């Protein structure tokens, strides 16, 4: 498994978060820009059900599901790859950095090594593999 494939997990997670937020915005968009404070009663339960909005929600939901299943497959592949590594420190670094998407300084702090050592271990690992 390449480092590029491992990095794709974090990218997919960020994209899924964006899609989830976009879906939420589309779902709760009532078609009114901002609430006017004019003292008159306005219906709160009206929602925008135009076909464009519904189609866009469907597209976002479909893209999210596809990305979710691709990412789950990628995570399973990454976990099986990481389990084959005999050194527990490297396994822990790879899991925290690529599957949990933690930055290197947090990975180093969690393990109890310096950030430079963490970076060096990753460089040596990927240079030896590829």
For residues 130 and 94, membership in a common domain is answered with yes
Rounded CA-CA distance 62/105 in Å is: 35
Within this chain, do residues 11 and 66 fall inside the same structural domain, yes or no? yes
Q: Nearest Cα to 130, choosing from 3, 9, 8, 7?
A: 3
* pLDDT of 37: 65
The verdict on residue 5 lying in a domain is: yes
Q: What is the pLDDT of residue 27?
A: 85
| CA-closest candidate to residue 6, choices 88, 86, 87, 102 | 102
> What is the predicted pLDDT for the residue at 9?
96
| 55/117 same-domain check | no
Look at the chain and report how many structural domains it folds into: 2
Whether residue 104 sits in one domain with residue 58: no
Residues of the chain with pLDDT under 70: 30-50, 130
Domain that holds residue 80: 1-28+50-84
């Amino acid at each position: 498994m390449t480092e590029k494939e491992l990095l794709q997990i974090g990218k997919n997670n960020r994209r899924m978060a964006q899609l989830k937020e976009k879906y939420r915005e589309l779902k709760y968009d009532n078609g009114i820009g901002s609430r006017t404070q004019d003292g008159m009663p306005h219906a709160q339960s009206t929602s925008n059900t135009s076909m464009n909005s519904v189609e866009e929600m469907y597209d976002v939901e479909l893209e999210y599901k596809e990305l979710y299943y691709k990412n789950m497959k990628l995570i399973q592949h990454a976990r099986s790859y990481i389990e084959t590594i005999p050194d527990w420190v490297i396994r822990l670094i790879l899991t925290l950095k690529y599957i949990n998407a933690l930055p290197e300084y947090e990975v180093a702090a969690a393990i109890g090594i310096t950030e430079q050592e963490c970076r060096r271990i990753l460089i040596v690992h990927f240079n030896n593999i590829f």
